[in-house]
């Protein structure tokens, strides 16, 4: 794996030894919104700060919460994160636990339920910051409200041109065959699943 700051080899970690020392000194921090490592102590990276600033300047006639924000809030309270993964993440389903453990065993840096850096308040199931950043969504239910939420989320990924990988129960059954082929276009060309 390579360091997310300088590109040097970092073993199994997102930062190399030198950048890790800078992190301890407070010179490298994670963006509070998107979770990407950056070289400063400010709470947001430049992209997230610009988006945040634009939102503050945007005048709205209504303070109504968007449909996706309502659906996200309802979903997160209905399905608490009760499953612990091998790397310590707490996830909301057995299938998400399987995906998280698979990513961990393949040494793929990932985050669970990371806020997607867009204007709307949207959380992905998994975020992979190496190579071309990619978001993974596991669609595990077929009930009407869930399908509405799924449609809203997919529209936002498309609207903001975000790399999205969709996973279903059928994919989980064959994860070793399915996920490498879906991830390959986004990972560095020298990445090996071995």
pLDDT in tens, 39-52: 887 887 878 777 77
At residue 37, does pLDDT exceed 50? Answer: yes
Q: How confident is the model at residue 61 (pLDDT cuts 50, 70, 90)?
A: very low
pLDDT in tens, 62-79: 444 466 666 666 666 666
pLDDT in tens, 132-168: 999 999 999 888 888 988 999 999 999 999 999 999 9
CATH 3.40.50.720 fits 67-183, yes or no: no
- For residue 97, the tally of other CB atoms under 10 A from its CB is 18
**Closest-CA residue to 33 (of 105, 122, 108):** 122
With a CB cutoff of 8 Å and minimum separation 6, the contacts of 122 are 68, 72, 115, 116, 153, 156
Q: How confident is the model at residue 25 (pLDDT cuts 50, 70, 90)?
A: confident
Distances 10 to 2, 64, 86, 109, 112 between C-alpha atoms, Å: 5, 45, 21, 11, 21
- The average pLDDT across 117-124 equals 89
- Nearest-5° angle of CA 117, CA 119, CA 123? 50
Per-residue pLDDT at 68: 64
- For residue 170, the tally of other CB atoms under 10 A from its CB is 8
Task: Map out the domains of the chain as residue ranges.
Answer: 1-61, 67-183
pLDDT in tens, 177-192: 999 999 999 999 898 8
Instruction: Identify the residue with better confidence: 52 or 105.
Output: 105
């Amino acid at each position: 794996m390579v360091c997310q700051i300088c590109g040097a080899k970092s073993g199994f970690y997102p930062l190399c030894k030198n950048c890790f020392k800078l992190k301890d000194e407070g010179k490298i921090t994670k963006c509070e919104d998107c979770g990407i490592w950056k070289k400063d102590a400010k709470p947001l990276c430049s992209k997230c700060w610009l988006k945040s600033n634009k939102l503050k300047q945007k005048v709205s006639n209504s303070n109504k919460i968007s449909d996706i924000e309502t659906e996200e809030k309802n979903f997160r309270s209905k399905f608490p994160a009760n499953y612990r993964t091998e790397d310590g993440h707490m996830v909301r389903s057995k299938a998400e636990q399987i995906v998280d453990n698979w990513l961990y065993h393949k040494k793929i840096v990932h985050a669970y339920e990371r806020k997607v850096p867009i204007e709307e308040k949207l959380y992905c199931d998994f975020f992979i910051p190496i190579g071309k950043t990619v978001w993974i969504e596991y669609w595990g239910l077929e009930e009407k409200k869930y399908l509405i939420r799924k449609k809203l989320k997919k529209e936002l990924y498309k609207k903001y041109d975000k790399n999205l990988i969709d996973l279903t129960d059928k994919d989980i059954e064959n994860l070793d065959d399915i996920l490498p082929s879906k991830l390959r276009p986004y990972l560095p060309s020298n990445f090996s699943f071995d």
